[in-house]
Amino acid sequence: MTRAAPIDLVQRLSLKRNIAFSIVGRGYYAVTQFLIIMIAAQLGTLEDVGVLTLAAAIVTPLFFLATMGTRDVLTVDDLDRFSRADFVFLRLIGSIAALVMSVILTIAFYGDGGLLILGSVVGFSLVKFVGAQAAMNHAMFQRAERLDFMAASIFVRGTAGLIAFGVVFWQTRNLPLALICEAGAWILTYWFIDKQLLVRLGLNTSFASLADSNLRKIGVLALWVLPIGLALWMMRTAFSVPPFLLEHFHGLEAVGLFGALAYVHTALSMLANAMGNASAARLRRCIREQRTSDFWRIARKLTATSFALGLTVTVGAWLFGGPLLTWAFGEDYAQPALFTIIVAASSLMLIASPLTTGIIASQVFIWRVVISGSSLIAAVFAALVLIPAHGVFGAAWTFMAASATYLIVTFIACGFLFGGRSKGVSHE
């Protein structure tokens, strides 16, 4: 393992600077992914966007399940039982399993859809595979409270991926090939950017250390973090239900319309993750050191900020949604009412995010299962009732039902976990 400065000697950035770097990095990445959707919509067809949305609906939940939230847990773990290499090894084998399962399920359920769907799932799986490994690097940057390094990594990776996808799709109109080239660009940034940043922090994990991993210890780690994996799988599956039912009842064009407009959820999720990335290690220290007043002070500020951001983007969607959608995707996507419902639903998830980070920091992972499971049940019930008759608007209201349930149950969970611990002496 290559070493530089010990992590305890690395100068941490302030919480405000970390949040700023995280928001800039995540925001830039959201822009690059939005531009990829925009390129697919402007140069391709509604069916292309539908296939891209369907591929994401198939692949993303499997990666959430198989990687078991190891990034989030590594950020807040005290590393007294497991090493960084244990987390990296578990994420690697989980990612391989997710890639294989994505291909198998696509062949089983969409085998008659031709090479476009299968090829796109393979390409998207490769993108997610590389991204899953890069996420562990970002977790180490989070632990060191050096999110300027994470922002630099995201900037280079997002730019390289966007250029690779855009140039290839522009020249070929071949969605699977464009996704595979995006994955290739991500691999290059992983090796030439992330690895060098980790070396500077003394946190690079070599293949030799992975080869020496104790499989029994890895199994214990997997069982410990499995509730997070289940929770993330259920949460993402809740938002994959609408595309699946839309494709079944209304076809790929309906999936494409919903998927393009629903990208705003991905963008807001990245914004929520930005605040979570910056605050998770700090919240864990507050809990470990029993500084409950500091914990609540940080959680309240982040929740208030999330509420203000959610309200702002919802009002913006209502006022400017029509012209924005026309400019970004074309006339076929100009559905401002539909867009406003989706943005409002995403904003509810944004408000819940700081509290969810606090639950992860408490390491009571079973509550994440309860929260996400409730959201999934709400999504399935609403989708079966609404989507067959109401199409994309039924999908949007399904999204709203899942998000509202997620927020309500998150508040209930925090009441149980922290309701009796609101008092404490601040040490800062």
The pLDDT, as a whole number, for residue 95 is: 92
pLDDT tens column, 251-301: 989 999 998 888 877 777 766 666 665 666 677 777 777 777 777 787 788
- Show the tokens assigned to 424: 């404490």
Question: Cα separation of 425 and 258, whole Å?
Answer: 48
Confidence grade of residue 351 (pLDDT, cut at 50, 70, 90): confident
> In terms of pTM, does the model score above 0.75?
yes
Please compute the mean of the pLDDT values over residues 205-233 and round it to a whole number: 81
State the pLDDT confidence band at 129, using cuts at 50, 70 and 90: very high
Query: pLDDT at position 423, please?
Result: 41
More confident call, 96 vs 66: 96
Domain ranges of the chain: 7-417
Residues counted in the chain: 428
Mean of pLDDT over the chain: 84
Residues 251, 253, 255: CA angle, nearest 5 degrees: 75
Percent of the chain exceeding pLDDT 90 equals 38
Query: Has residue 421 got a pLDDT over 60?
Result: no
Average pLDDT over residues 243-254: 91
Vertex 77, ends 72 and 78: CA angle to 5°? 160
- For the stretch 62-95, pLDDT in tens is 998 888 878 877 877 777 788 888 888 889 899 9
Give 192's Cβ-side CA count (13 Å radius): 9
| 7 vs 209 pLDDT, higher one | 209
Q: Which helix (H) or strand (E) holds 219?
A: helix 215-238
Residue 21 has pLDDT above 90, yes or no: no
Using CA atoms, how far residue 394 sits from 117, 328, 373, 384, 398, in Å, is 24, 23, 21, 9, 6
